[in-house]
Structure 1
């Protein structure tokens, strides 16, 4: 499956109600398990985890500087 350009997998385990998931962003692979009887809820939880990871990466790298705009404190 794909969410925001990130490929991920969600699979049942031998234990009922436990799902194993995996995704990779860049060189880092994240894996884990979630507990639910509903397959769509397991998928949604992984999508939310991907969103959190992408947001964290964006905060670490910081926003891209805009070109052509005024800098705070400049007079027009």
Structure 2
């Protein structure tokens, strides 16, 4: 699946447990989440991607302010 240009995967490990993975640049992010529905697990990963992209944007903005 792709969210905001970031490819990610979500797989069920056990009932209600989902493993997820995505990569931004050379950094890989992995984890697990608890959710009864796969759509909820997917949404949680999308929110995590949004947070990581926002962090990167803020870091880049700070670096540009220094110049």
Return the TM-score normalized by structure 1.
0.80
Matched, 1:2 2:2: yes
Size of the alignment, in residue pairs? 64
SS of residue in 2 equivalent to 1:37: coil
Partner of 2:17: 18
List gaps (5 residues or longer) in structure 1. 66-76
Structure 1 or 2: larger helix share? 2
Partner of 1:43: 42
Q: Give a deviation string over 1:23-64, Cα, whole Å, max 9, x none.
A: 000000000000011110000000000000000000011076
- In terms of Rg, which structure is larger? 1
Greater relative contact order structure (CA < 8 Å, 6+ sep): 2
Structure 1 or 2: larger strand share? 2
Partner of 2:30: 31
SS of residue in 2 equivalent to 1:62: helix
Distance apart, 1:16 and its partner CA: 0.9
